[in-house]
Amino acid sequence: MSIIQKVRKQLSSLFPPIKRFLAWWRYDDQERLRNKVIEIWIRSAQEELLRAHHLLNDIANKPFYEVDIPQGTIDWVVRLIARYEAVKRPYTPLDRRLALRLGMQAPALRRRLLWLLSGFAFAVITTFILGLFTDFPLFHWFPIAILTGLFFYIVCLYTGYKLFPFIRSLTADHTACEHLFHANLSQIFQQANALLHSRNLKKVPQINTALHAISYQKLQRGSMQESTNNTVTKESKPVPDFKSQNQTLNHHYYPMKQAWERFLTEVLHLKDVSTVSPIHHDLGQTEVFIWDIPSVAFTRWEENITRIEAYLKKPVFFIHRDYDGIGTVGVEIAKQPLPKEIHFQNVINLHAVAQMPESVIVGVNSKGMVTWNYRKIPHGIVAGTTGAGKSTALYSIILQFQRQNHLPMFIDLKGGVSFGFVEDAGYPIATTKEAALELVKSAAQEVERREQLLKEWGVSPDIAVYNEMTGANLPELFVVFDEFAQFTDKWQGLEEGMSCLKAIAAKGRSNGVHLLIATQRPSQESLGSTDFRSNISFRCIGRMDSQASSQIALGNGAAFERLPSTDYAGLFIVRGTDAPMDSLIKVPFINDMDFRRLFLEYRNPHEGYKLGHRAMLKLKSCDYNDIF
Ligand SMILES: Nc1ncnc2c1ncn2[C@@H]1O[C@H](COP(=O)(O)OP(=O)(O)OP(=O)(O)O)[C@@H](O)[C@H]1O
């Protein structure tokens, strides 16, 4: 081996760590800091709630006359739970001072120091060079150095580490906070809340006092609001009073009475509809009409969702077969239509999303965010006619996969028009059918390899448990098809490709290999056999241009009948999410440029991961938490 080759070999072994260091320097600083802030935020909220829960537990285990805890402490517990009940997000611990302190301590400080030093060095070198060639008095270097240092420092303030927009986005982004709350705190909160309202604790006079104080305050606040509302709407028409808690038993007047009566007579062909009236429950964002009409079967309500929406001019949220277990049909109506457009940045906080490793946000319905848990429902399809917003839906899901450190792999047979750039961030992409076949084959091999690994380790259920037990870092893989029909056109590799896809669809869940398929026109041919289709249970279906396509995608005509024929961009019917079946959602909008920018901000942490091979090149992730 010549000397040059030896040197080159030595140097090449240096490159990966240098590359990794540069990637860390460029991409991870803010990410890590934000994750840390969120972690601290959640942890302190958790501690708070746990303290409250333990205290309530203590009280519950004592006879009520032996409770000698000061009233102030009990007030604190009751208020804490009431506050979390009203606003579902962690509270004060994320104050500006804390975040700022964190921000100042870590990378920002380091970066600013670097700028300052470079400014200083620059000034010294310049004055020295000037001194060499001219009779520039050298003692001037000191004020010049100070000025240049200051200049660089100001530059870094503007271009460097931006913390405030993050705080603003985190505190303003209520939905994301709610999601964080739901993922991390809801269980402990519910336990504490249930305990607080248990029969045992209601006997404790101190708790009663605290509860009364809170409800009194609420009442006062309510009456104040009412009086302000009255002054504002003095001239408006009187509104029927449905305030009595959350239901009305007024059988003569209920909201949308005329519309309902028309629906009952014209669609359900009932006579004398004035004698039937629903019980009305107001649930905040939605309202339920509970109908007790034995002659109308549940399926007739379900079949007529589109008509109900047309008569009431409001979207149906869900039809309950047995509302509250009282054997009657409950038609839940959203009070407001879905927003015309919601922007990705306002709904999805990528830093919060990184904390929820099993699910991604797909969109919002009338009650809030709708998520897809890909560990439970491993494969998905996004379909819709041209302009339905499939790409947008894919973009927001893919960005979330990426931030959760999973490994999306792309098959873009339009020659890489949509996803070609992902290569720049180190993600695999196939742009020809042959390459696609290779990718699909190696994904299927990966399923087998992982199956083997799980068997060897005796880990029965899934790859997440395997990772936890062995300390391995096997990423969840997502094979994303941009337009599936292009892959399933007749060609010689189709049969082999489809059999690999079937294997992934059947065995991918426990092995962490997923399919996400986008297509314009779902058909028998383009979606393959029924058993393949039935394994793809997450459905996100936009407007379809025919009843038949909707039938294939959803098993009913909803995507053709229920979704409007104009202005349908971003509206989807979803299945396999945490929302009720066939929920109508709006997908957040993100344009191509923003998607590209956000995607390229983050480099593939699993670069070099060899699919289907036993030996893997693992990028060892550094634990930079110690900077705190
Ligand atoms: N969530 C959304 N909210 C509002 N408008 C949207 C949304 N998604 C998409 N749109 C609008 O619809 C247009 C088409 O969106 P997109 O390219 O995602 O559709 P598509 O279904 O992928 O279409 P094609 O199949 O032709 O590629 C966008 O340019 C945008 O104006």
Assign 3-class secondary structure to 109-167.
Answer: HHHHHHHHHHHHHHHHHHHHHHHHHCCCCHHHHHHHHHHHHHHHHHHHHHHCCCCHHHH
Please state which CATH number belongs to domain 247-334: 3.30.980.40
Beta bridge partners of 572: 585
* Ranges 165-169, 352-356, 503-507: which has the least confidence: 165-169
163 pLDDT tier (thresholds 50, 70, 90):
very low
The yes-or-no verdict on residue 146 having pLDDT over 90 is no
Give pLDDT tens digits for 185-196. Answer: 888 888 888 888
Measured distance CA(398)–CA(418) in Å, rounded = 13
Highest-scoring range by mean pLDDT, 28-32, 180-184, 366-370: 366-370
So what's the pLDDT on residue 251?
44
Q: Quick one: pLDDT at residue 399? A: 93
Q: Specify the higher pLDDT residue, 112 or 341.
A: 341
* 386 annotated as belonging to a binding site for a ligand: yes
Using a 6 Å cutoff on CB, does residue 386 contact ligand 1? yes
- Comparing 112 with 165, the larger pLDDT belongs to 112
State which H helix or E strand residue 317 sits in. strand 316-320
Query: Is residue 609 predicted with pLDDT exceeding 60?
Result: yes
Contact 585, 539 (CB under 8 A): no
pLDDT at residue 429 tops 50: yes
Q: Which residues, including other chains, have CB under 8 Å from residue 20's CB and lie 6 or more apart?
A: 619, 622
Tokens of 172: 């303003």
CB 586 within 8 A of CB 363: yes
- For ligand 1, pick from 342, 343, 348, 391 the residue to mutate: most ligand atoms within 8 Å of CB: 391
Confidence of residue 249 (pLDDT cuts 50, 70, 90): very low
Whether residue 428 has its Cβ less than 6 Å from ligand 1: no
428-435's contacts with Cβ under 8 Å and 24+ in sequence apart are: 433/487, 433/491, 433/493, 434/493
Whether 458 has a binding-site annotation, put simply, is: no
CA distances from 471 to 32, 305, 474, 621 (A): 21, 50, 9, 12
**Is there a binding annotation on residue 528?**
no
**549: CA distance to ligand 1 center in Å?**
19
CA 524 / ligand 1 centre spacing (Å)? 25
- Give dist(CA 292, CA 593) in Å, integer: 52
Q: How far is the CA of 57 from the centre of ligand 1 (A)?
A: 52
Ligand 1 atom nearest to 571, measured from its CA: 1
Helix 174-184 and helix 186-196, axial crossing angle in degrees, nearest 10: 80
**391 close to ligand 1 (CB < 6 Angstrom):** yes
Check pocket membership of 223 for ligand 1, CB cut-off 6 A: no
Note the pLDDT of residue 362.
92
What are the b/e assignments for 2-40, b being 16+ CB within 10 Å?
eeeeeeeeeeeeeeeeeebeebbeebbbbbbbbbbbbeb
- Same topology, domains 247-334 and 344-619? Answer is no
* Alpha helix stretches (DSSP H) within 233-295: 257-266
What Å distances lie between residue 400 and 354, 397, 417, 448, 599, CA to CA? 7, 5, 21, 26, 10
Closest ligand 1 atom to the C-alpha of 394?
18
Of the candidates 378, 360, 403, the one whose C-alpha atom is nearest the C-alpha of residue 601 is 403
Q: pLDDT, tens digit, for every residue of 31-67?
A: 566 666 667 767 778 888 899 999 888 888 877 667 7
> How close is the Cα of 340 to the center of ligand 1, in Å?
13
Ligand 1 in reach of 388 Cβ (< 6 A): yes
Q: What is the ipTM metric for this complex?
A: 0.95
Q: Given a cut of 60, is residue 220 above it in pLDDT? A: no
Contacts with 476 (C-beta within 8 Å, 6 or more apart), sequence order? 374, 401, 404, 406, 407, 463, 512, 513, 514
- Cβ distance 45 to 52 under 8 Å? no
Report residue 585's pLDDT band, with 50, 70 and 90 as the boundaries. Answer: very high
For all residues of the chain together, what is the average pLDDT? 76
At which residue do the structure tokens 């969840």 appear? 476
The finding on whether 519 has its CB within 6 A of some atom of ligand 1 is no
**How far, in Å, from the CA of 471 to the mean position of ligand 1?**
41
The confidence score (pLDDT) of residue 621 equals 35
How many other β-carbons are positioned within 10 Å of the β-carbon of residue 221?
A: 10
pLDDT band at 628 (very low <50, low <70, confident <90, very high): very low
Residue with tokens 């927003």: 339
Tens of pLDDT, residues 383-415: 999 889 999 999 999 999 999 889 999 998 887
Kindly list the domain boundaries of the chain, sorted by start residue: 23-223, 247-334, 344-619
Please tell me the residue having the least CA distance from ligand 1 atom 26: 386
Short-list 369, 398, 390, CA closest to 543: 390
**Inter-residue contact 520 to 385 (CB < 8 Å):** yes
**Cβ–ligand 1 contact at 190 (below 6 Å):** no
Ligand 1 atom at minimal distance to the Cα of residue 392: 18
Q: Is 384 annotated among the ligand-binding residues?
A: yes
Considering only 80-89, 430-439, 480-489, which range has the smallest mean pLDDT? 80-89
Report the range of poorest mean pLDDT among 8-17, 108-117, 309-318, 471-480. 108-117
392: Cβ below 6 Å to ligand 1? yes
Beta carbon of 387 within 6 Å of any ligand 1 atom? yes
Dist. CA 561–CA 307, nearest whole Å: 10
**Going by CATH, does the domain composed of 344-619 fall within 3.40.50.300?**
yes
